Amino acid sequence: MCSVCWKKGSPKAPLDASAEQVSEPDAVVPPTTAETTEPAAVTEEGAEKLPVQTNKARCWACNKKVGLTGIECRCGYVYCGTHRYADQHECSFDHKAADMAELAKRNPGGGHFNKVDKL
CA distances from 76 to 4, 58, 61, 67 (A): 49, 13, 13, 16
- Strand runs (DSSP E) across 58-115, as ranges? 71-72, 78-79
pLDDT confidence of residue 2 = 83
**3-state DSSP assignment of residue 37:** coil
In our burial notation (b when 16+ CB lie closer than 10 A, e otherwise), range 2-36 reads eeeeeeeeeeeeeeeeeeeeeeeeeeeeeeeeeee
Task: Report the pLDDT value the prediction gives residue 78, as an integer from 0 to 100.
Answer: 94
Give pLDDT, residue 33: 46
Please tell me the CATH superfamily of domain 55-106, with its number.
Answer: AN1-like Zinc finger (4.10.1110.10)
Task: Output the tens digit of pLDDT for each of the chain's 119 residues.
Answer: 788 887 888 666 555 545 545 444 445 555 554 444 444 444 455 556 778 889 999 999 999 999 899 999 999 999 999 999 988 888 889 999 999 999 888 887 766 666 666 76
The residue ranges of DSSP E strands in 48-103, in sequence order, are 71-72, 78-79
0.85 exceeded by the pTM? no
Q: How far apart are CA 99 and CA 105, in angstroms?
A: 10
Sorted by where each begins, the domain ranges of the chain are 55-106
